[in-house]
Structure formats: C-alpha cells, structure tokens
Amino acid sequence: MTDTSSALRIVWIYPDLLSTYGDRGNVLVLRRRAALRGIPTEIVHVNSGDPVPEHGDIYLLGGGEDRPQILAAERLRAQGGLARAVRNGACVFAVCAGYQIIGETYADNESNPLPGVGILDVRSDRGRTRAVGELVADVAPELGGGRITGFENHQGRTTIGPSARPLSTLVRGIGNDERTEGAYQGQVLGTYLHGPALPRNPQLADQLLGRRVGQLAPLPPSWGERLHDERLTAALRQ
Ligand code: GLN
C-alpha cells in the first residue's frame, strides 16, 4: 500500500448532494497542479452519510439545488468535522450553495433564514431575480490580485460581515451584491463561480495550494491559462 501520510489531503465534501456544474473539476485541477510540482495528493470523497475527517488540508464544496443544500448544511452542522478541520488550520474552498452554507445564515426558497456552518462571516438571502451568466472579477490585491472568470447561477445574495473580506471586486455579473464576488476569512474562501472555478482560473488554484504547501514552483502556461484567456475575452465581449 502506498504511504500517503505525507500527501496533501484534498477532501471533496458531499459529492452526493453538492456537485452541480462540474465543480468536481476543482478537485482534479488541484491534484494535477500539485502533481506537476511533484507534490503527492490523497483525494478523500466524503458522502453525506460519512463523517468529515478533521485532518485534511484542503476541503472543497460545490454548488447544489435548494433541497440538497439544506440537507448538506444540516449534516455538516450536526457532524461538526468541517468546523473542527478549520480550527485545525485547514483551507476551505466552497462554491455557490457550498459558499452559502458555510456562512452564518442562508435562505430557503421562502426566504426564511437557516443556520449555516458558521466558518465564514457571510449571510445570504434570496434576491428578487436569479443571477445567471458570465462573471468577471478582480481578486483582492492581498490575495495576489488577478482577474478571474466563471459563470454564476444562483438566487441568493450575500452580505459580508466584519470578520470576512470580499474575495474580489466585480467587473461583470451579479456575485454577492453587484459590487463584490465571494468572500474569505483566514483559510476559508467562498465564491459564486462555477466553470469549474479552478480549472478556469489556474492562479486561484495555485493560491489555494500555496496556502498549504508554501511557495510553489512556477509552471509553464498550459491549457488552463489558454482557457482562462479565452473565457475572459468571451465574457468581456458579451
Ligand atoms: N440554491 C442556491 C441559490 O440559488 C445555490 C445555487 C447553486 O449552487 N447553483 O442561490
């Protein structure tokens, strides 16, 4: 058996509930960009009946429909493993429904506030319209800056509390509130971006990896950078 004790542990939370729009691509691109630098990874799939391990390095959550989103939030809160992992220093990257449920509160389809996991100081409620389309935003300078693209499809709108900061400033799209997109607090990041987000934005993938493995060797540009440039041009042309 391979010794994976020193491998970077990437934990994919609830693929049975939160896995719309190909968000699993985020898992694959992290593994790929780690492998290209000789960093071994272990991918752990945690279905909603399973406990969330507390000693992973990077935890990924995807988007989901309203009902599975509620179930996921209830189970994550009851089981507690994700919050404990964050206290242990783990990094989290959560998309759309995943982003909403790691916050303090999010809304059901009648706008009732429901409790989230509480690891990111954001609150989401329901907007009057659905936000659908291409999104372009500029990542906060303290996170390394750079322009990111993806597509969004959500009813929720998100307000950032005092302990969190916007992940990026909006150039095109709706995002949190038509001004900013996503949020971060320490090692916890949330975004509305699908695409999937990390294959479309390799610099964001490296930002996450760097949080756990430190300085990363640069990689020669590949299909990821070409995809990023192509989607950015297309989104800004619309
Ligand atoms: N149900 C949430 C919303 O509509 C999240 C949707 C999603 O993950 N695409 O805001």
215 burial via Cβ count (<10 Å: 0-12, 13-18, 19+) = exposed
Query: Stretch 66-89: mean pLDDT, rounded?
Result: 97
3-class SS shares of the chain: helix, strand, coil, % to 5: 30, 35, 35
- For tokens 């297309």, the residue is 234
What amino acid is encoded at 94 in this protein?
A
Q: Ligand 1 mean position to 119 CA, how many Å?
A: 19
User: Among the atoms of ligand 1, which is closest to the Cα of residue 63?
Assistant: 8
* Average pLDDT for the chain: 95
First to last CA, the chain: 51
* Per-residue pLDDT tens digits for 98-121: 999 999 999 999 999 999 999 999
* Per-residue pLDDT tens digits for 127-147: 999 999 999 999 999 999 999
- Record the pTM: 0.96
| Residue 96 a catalytic site member | yes
Residue 138 token pair: 């500029």
> C-alpha 106: how far from its chain's center?
16
Q: Is the distance from CB of 37 to CB of 4 less than 8 angstroms?
A: no
pLDDT-based confidence at 179, cuts 50/70/90? very high
> Which of 152, 154, 177 gets mutated to test ligand 1 (max ligand atoms within 8 A of its CB)?
154
Q: Is the distance from CB of 183 to CB of 165 less than 8 angstroms?
A: yes
| Residue 55 a catalytic site member | no
Q: Ligand 1 mean position to 99 CA, how many Å?
A: 9
